[in-house]
Amino acid sequence: MKMNIALLPGDGIGPEVIEQAVKCLQAVEETFNHTFVYKEGLVGAAAIDKTKEPLPDSTLRLCKKVDAILFGAIGDPKYDNDPNAKVRPEQGLLKLRKELGLFANIRPVKVYDSLIDKSPLKKDIVKGTDFVIYRELTGGIYFGEKKVNENGTIASDLCEYSEMEISRITHLAFKAANKRNKKLTLIDKANVLESSRLWRKVVKKIGESYPDVALNFLFVDNAAMQMILNPSQFDVILTENMFGDIISDEASVIGGSIGLLPSASIGNGHALFEPIHGSFPQAKSENTANPIAAILSAAMLLDHFHLTEEAEAVRMAVAKALSKGVVTPDLNPKSKFGTSQVGDFIADHIVDDEHALIMNDENIGLGRSTII
Ligand code: IPM
Ligand code: MN
């Protein structure tokens, strides 16, 4: 298969984790005989520095014509503490989502048995956690009308949703639930917000066409608590933009490190894949950032194009790295492996299952791996 992929490494640790994801995609190309063509684009603070824009037109044009986008991270502390900054790196990502119509953000959360001790929660609580968040991504308070009065003392952000915006992601979430454990939880604040009441109404109605899926509702404050008390109760979570942003950061630590979680943003014929972690500027160029979230995002990209065996080969290689302790310092402070060594190991272990290659693990201790 031939595929054009735009690489948008962005800021902070973005470039180094994307480099590892590309290594793994190249291993997939070789192993499974595909051709992926990569083209780089500027985004975020890196783009502001060069062009004064967080999403230059050339990047948007590139993203519109490729099959898929692999995104690193954006954000730079020099903008975070300046409320008067007119341009911000984040605007680049928000504009990209809106322009490409990426209305569904899919964030799987899975606890690996080999990492269970890393979780801040008790083993018994997190064991077996495996859910996926469907976060609406192009509506709600993020994109509603923003106002500030003349003297800058009153500000507001409108949270608006239409039935159409709710129903298109709801169908995707129900379809996912049908293929999984057939449970869908809508997280909202319907006891207070009119927009949440519309979500409930629309989701209930759509639920009638998915009779095999058990639908339940949780207020977002309760959901935040349930996620810590009993995360394995969830299967598919559906929620609006802002609640999804908050809940997914909370969910991301259940498995031990935010550095493990990938995401896909899809809609209207475009698809973007990105690790859910941020740009972590303190770790930039230190070769310590965990590349696994970016690598698993590449696996989601493969899945999206029905390259299921290829995606599985990437995930198997990741599982191998985790079980052999080939991990970055966020997962083991004493680890001698850095971002690029973990990337090399995973790329080296991407194998075609049918040919069941035998791994020679003896060299792992040396920070190298070979396949015989
Ligand atoms: C995310 C991020 C973004 C968001 C920021 C960078 C705009 O936190 O993808 O979760 O809030 O959606
Ligand atoms: Mn977020």
Residues 221, 336, 353, 361: which is the catalytic one? 221
Tell me what the mean pLDDT of segment 216-232 comes to. Answer: 98
Residue 80 pLDDT grade (very low, low, confident, very high; cuts 50, 70, 90): confident
User: Ligand 1 centroid vs 245 CA: distance in angstroms?
Assistant: 7
Distance, in Å, from the CA atom of 243 to the CA atom of 67, rounded to the nearest integer, reads: 29
Hey, which of 43, 94, 248 would you mutate to test ligand 1's pocket, going by the most ligand atoms within 8 Å of its Cβ? 94
* Residue 309 and residue 234 in contact, taking contact as beta carbons nearer than 8 Å: no
Same domain? For 243 and 140 the reply is yes
Percent over 70 (pLDDT), the chain: 95
Residue 362 pLDDT grade (very low, low, confident, very high; cuts 50, 70, 90): very low
Same domain? For 90 and 120 the reply is no
Is the model's pLDDT at 151 over the cut of 70? yes
For residue 208, is it within any domain?
yes
Neighbours of 84 (CB within 10 A): 5
Tell me what the mean pLDDT of segment 47-74 comes to. Answer: 97
Sheet strands (E) in 30-129: 35-40, 68-73, 104-110
Whether residue 249 has its Cβ less than 6 Å from ligand 1:
no
Same domain? For 117 and 231 the reply is yes
Residue 141 to residues 38, 86, 155, 295, 358: CA-CA distances in angstroms? 34, 19, 13, 31, 52
Same domain? For 116 and 251 the reply is yes
Predicted pLDDT at 235? 98
Is the model's pLDDT at 359 over the cut of 80? no
Say which residue, 81 or 174, is predicted with more confidence. 174
Q: What rounded mean pLDDT belongs to the chain?
A: 94
Residue 21 neighbours by CB under 8 Å, 6+ apart: 70, 291, 294, 295, 297, 298, 343
Q: What is the CATH number of the domain that holds 313?
A: 3.40.718.10
Predicted pLDDT at 85? 83
Q: Give the closest ligand to the alpha carbon of residue 293.
A: 1
Residue 33 to residues 19, 38, 67, 125, 349: CA-CA distances in angstroms? 20, 16, 18, 42, 16
> Which 3 state secondary structure label does DSSP give 171?
helix
Same domain? For 116 and 221 the reply is yes
Same domain? For 271 and 249 the reply is no
For residue 48, is it within any domain?
yes
Residue 90 belongs to what H/E stretch? helix 89-100
Distance, in Å, from the CA atom of 71 to the CA atom of 25, rounded to the nearest integer, reads: 14
Predicted pLDDT at 81? 78
Its domain, for residue 163, covers 112-256
Predicted pLDDT at 370? 44
Handedness of CA 91, 96, 102, 103 (dihedral sign): positive
pLDDT tens-digit series, residues 177-202: 999 999 999 999 999 999 999 999 99
Same domain? For 157 and 216 the reply is yes
Say whether 110 is catalytic.
Answer: no
For residue 261, is it within any domain?
no
Is the model's pLDDT at 355 over the cut of 70? no
Same domain? For 132 and 210 the reply is yes
User: Ligand 2 centroid vs 244 CA: distance in angstroms?
Assistant: 8
Is the model's pLDDT at 290 over the cut of 50? yes
Same domain? For 242 and 193 the reply is yes
Residue 67 to residues 4, 101, 222, 322: CA-CA distances in angstroms? 5, 14, 39, 30
Smallest CA separation from ligand 1 atom 2, residue: 245
Handedness of CA 245, 189, 108, 70 (dihedral sign): negative
Distance, in Å, from the CA atom of 348 to the CA atom of 368, rounded to the nearest integer, reads: 9
For residue 262, is it within any domain?
no
For residue 343, is it within any domain?
yes
For residue 128, is it within any domain?
yes
User: Ligand 2 centroid vs 243 CA: distance in angstroms?
Assistant: 10
Tell me what the mean pLDDT of segment 129-147 comes to. Answer: 98
Same domain? For 326 and 197 the reply is no
Is the model's pLDDT at 368 over the cut of 60? no
Same domain? For 203 and 275 the reply is no
Residues 249, 284, 324, 352: which is the catalytic one? 249
Say whether 38 is catalytic.
Answer: no
* Residue 261 and residue 276 in contact, taking contact as beta carbons nearer than 8 Å: yes
**Residue where a domain terminates, one of 194, 226, 256:** 256
What's the total number of domains in the chain? 2
Is the model's pLDDT at 59 over the cut of 90? yes
Is the model's pLDDT at 212 over the cut of 90? yes
* Residue 21 and residue 295 in contact, taking contact as beta carbons nearer than 8 Å: yes
Whether residue 312 has its Cβ less than 6 Å from ligand 1:
no
User: Ligand 1 centroid vs 137 CA: distance in angstroms?
Assistant: 9
For residue 14, is it within any domain?
yes
Smallest CA separation from ligand 1 atom 11, residue: 245
Whether residue 317 has its Cβ less than 6 Å from ligand 1:
no
Residue 93 to residues 26, 56, 247, 261, 281: CA-CA distances in angstroms? 26, 11, 19, 18, 17
**Residue where a domain terminates, one of 189, 224, 256:** 256
pLDDT tens-digit series, residues 299-317: 999 999 999 999 999 999 9
Q: Give the closest ligand to the alpha carbon of residue 249.
A: 2
Same domain? For 89 and 17 the reply is yes
**Residue where a domain terminates, one of 194, 221, 256:** 256
Distance, in Å, from the CA atom of 253 to the CA atom of 256, rounded to the nearest integer, reads: 5
Residue 201 neighbours by CB under 8 Å, 6+ apart: none
